[in-house]
Amino acid sequence: MDFAIDIVLGVMVAATPLLFAALGELVAEKAGVLNLGVEGMMIVGAIAAFSTTIGTGSHAAGVAAAAAAGIGMAILFGILALTLRANQVASGLALTIFGLGISALWGQDYSGLSTGRFPRPGFLGEIPIVGRFFASLDPLVYLSLVLVAAVAWFLKKSRYGLILRAIGENHDAAHTLGYPVIFCRYCAVMFGGALAGIAGAYLSIVQTPLWVEKMTAGRGWIALALVVFAAWRPWRLVLGTYLFGGISVLQLHSQALGVKIDAQILSMLPYLATILVLVLISHDKAKVRLTAPDSLGKPFHAPH
């Protein structure tokens, strides 16, 4: 029983940074912006969280710093792709390269340090039967699920969510109706940056409370694939991220269960699964076109 609980906890912990990053990218893409800089925003968020937590002793301050760093990176992307109308794909790739470089420079003095265990809500341990399980989860796991519900409601039920979706579907028509296309896209990109930063913080001060250069290890790219896998639907995103979390945990526990597979092959599993998902999705291009925002990746030129 305890082993099963540990497996479930491991899946949730592995899935949470993917869920934060993918949820933020989903909102940006719903607004018609393709930001391939998720990996860069995550790694900058990771070092911002780690350095702030070491400096202040506060994990909450670290999470806030990560969100701020992610927003700063998102604004940089917005200036390039939205204001200067540079190619969104190239701008996102540049953002990732920039993030990996600046995080390596920033983190030189933090190797070998640890932030300590992230605080858990101990009072949940008093719940009968399931108390141990809920008390073992950190607050950011709960926050990620609350944000999924909030984003799902926002996009489907709120007026501003409908405006955001309208901009993502047809930015010219939305502009004609008087909606501020660029402003809304900036807000969506900044929200995505904040969540990507928190995703990075989860890696550096929760999942493994230490700093390792390039510790995101491609999770930003997996998050991008998960948005397509989920067909731009928040609740389906939970399924996708937890599925990939399960694959990540499988590689850790398979050897303990006596499965004789090389460690290098096991470490490849999440990325092989990502490629497989993309191949399967690409097979039905008509369905992708129907579910993807119609203005995704297209620059907006406001008529004068």
Q: What phi and psi values does residue 35 have, to the nearest 5 degrees? A: -110, 105
Q: Span 273-297, mean pLDDT?
A: 74
pLDDT score at 261: 66
For residue 118, give every residue at least 6 positions away whose Cβ sits within 8 Å of its Cβ, in sequence order, or none. Answer: 59, 138, 140, 205, 206, 209
pLDDT score at 164: 95
Q: What phi and psi values does residue 114 have, to the nearest 5 degrees? A: -140, 145
- Between 204 and 267, residue with greater pLDDT: 204
State how far the Cα of 103 lies from the Cα of 187, in Å rounded to an integer: 24
Burial of 7 (0-12, 13-18, 19+ CB in 10 A): middle
Highest mean pLDDT among 1-10, 32-41, 126-135, 208-217: 32-41
Q: Would you place residue 2 in the very low, low, confident or very high pLDDT band (cuts 50, 70, 90)?
A: low
For residue 269, give every residue at least 6 positions away whose Cβ sits within 8 Å of its Cβ, in sequence order, or none. Answer: 247, 248, 250, 251
* Residues 185-238 pLDDT 10s: 999 999 999 999 999 999 999 988 889 888 998 899 999 989 988 889 999 999
pLDDT score at 289: 65
Stated length of the chain:
304
Residue 287 in this model has a pLDDT that exceeds 70: no
Query: What are the structural domains, with CATH classification, of the chain?
Result: 2-291 (1.10.3470.10)
- Between 293 and 289, residue with greater pLDDT: 293
Instruction: Of 86, 83, 90, give the one whose Cα is nearest residue 36.
Output: 90
* Residues 145-193 pLDDT 10s: 999 999 999 999 999 999 999 999 999 999 998 999 999 999 999 999 9
Q: What phi and psi values does residue 90 have, to the nearest 5 degrees? A: -65, -40
- The chain-wide mean pLDDT, for the chain, equals 87
R_g over Cα of the chain: 19
Q: Span 87-109, mean pLDDT?
A: 94
Number of Cβ atoms within 10 Å of the Cβ of 35: 30
pLDDT score at 128: 63
| Axis crossing angle, helix 234-253 with helix 2-30, rounded to the nearest 10 | 140
Residue with tokens 């799902």: 152
pTM: 0.91
State how far the Cα of 293 lies from the Cα of 252, in Å rounded to an integer: 37
Buried b / exposed e across 264-280, counting CB within 10 Å, b at 16+?
Answer: eebeebbeebbeebeee
Number of Cβ atoms within 10 Å of the Cβ of 85: 13
- Between 223 and 111, residue with greater pLDDT: 223
* Residues 49-64 pLDDT 10s: 999 999 999 999 999 9
State how far the Cα of 19 lies from the Cα of 146, in Å rounded to an integer: 11
- Between 24 and 285, residue with greater pLDDT: 24
Q: Span 82-101, mean pLDDT?
A: 94
Instruction: Of 64, 93, 67, 99, give the one whose Cα is nearest residue 80.
Output: 93
